[in-house]
Structure 1
């Protein structure tokens, strides 16, 4: 991985991390190289039930 690719990867990861409150970021690797980044975000809804 060259420096430009590494900087682009780090930039994408930083942007994803800044916007993520709950969830995960997955790096997909093929032939020893990162080919995809996936962000899975969880949104928790509060119940409106009154007891």
Structure 2
């Protein structure tokens, strides 16, 4: 993944709402195997995707 450095003339990103932080923390505590993806547009959190996987033992 390529990331661009922040330009000095870029507007400062908005703070993440407490409700979004709570959702992220809750997902971190719940998901055993999976992904938590944050989508950011122009420095603003716009979406949280949680993908949970179920693993089956090798028999």
With the length of structure 1 as denominator, give the TM-score of the two structures: 0.71
Unaligned runs of 5+ in 2: 1-13
Unpaired runs of at least 5, structure 1: none
User: Root-mean-square deviation (CA), in Å?
Assistant: 1.8
Identify the structure with the greater helix proportion.
Answer: 1
Name the count of aligned residue pairs. 46
Bigger strand share: 1
Q: Which runs of 4+ in 1 moved over 6 A?
A: none
TM-score (norm 2): 0.63
Give, in whole Å, the separation in 2 of the partners of 1:2 and 1:26.
18
